[in-house]
Amino acid sequence: MKVSRHAKIIELISQYDIETQEELAEYLNNAGFKVTQATVSRDIRDLKLTKVSVNGGKQKYVVHRQEEGMSEKYIRVLKDGYVSMDMAQNILVIKTVSGMAMAVAAALDAMKWNEVVGCIAGDDTIMCAIRTVEDTEAVMEKIRRIVSKGL
């Protein structure tokens, strides 16, 4: 449940400008996760979220970027949600566990791989636009290494 909740938090903060723990708790409760402010506070600490300023002086939660580009949380979300993948030229199609596509896509986007132009996610399918066919093969290999070893 915690991994699913963390994946949902990453998805929510990438979609919305969430300013407060209470606001995040409300989004999570609306998404079917019954949480308290204390739970959200622990999740924020576990995920190493930080706040950044956005237009108008408001702030929002974001995932603190690590130097190596992949945090343990992104790897866990990818490993937990991944089912299979296939390519069609420079389009990578990733199948996920039902309901996990948005979180896995958010994790892939957060990894900031240069080869990945962007991802579109449904319920259990992600379409990633990759720069070239060769880059698609390289991204597939990266994903294989992550889901098999977590590296």
- pLDDT tops 50 at residue 19: yes
What's the structural domain count of the chain? 2
Instruction: Compute the distance between CA of residue 104 and CA of residue 117 in angstroms, rounded to an integer.
Output: 15
Does the predicted TM-score (pTM) go above 0.75?
Answer: no
Domain range enclosing 102: 72-149
76 shares its domain with 141: yes
Residues 40 and 107 reside in one and the same domain = no
pLDDT(86) > 60: yes
pLDDT one-digit tens code per residue, 141-151 = 999 998 887 44
- What is the pLDDT averaged over residues 73-100? 93
Dig out the tokens for 18 from the structure: 């969430």
Q: Check which CATH number belongs to the domain holding 32 and give it.
A: 1.10.10.10
Of 45, 63, 81, the one marking the end of a domain is 63
Taking only the tens place, the pLDDT of each residue in 26-80 is 999 999 999 999 999 999 988 888 888 777 778 888 876 544 445 778 888 899 9
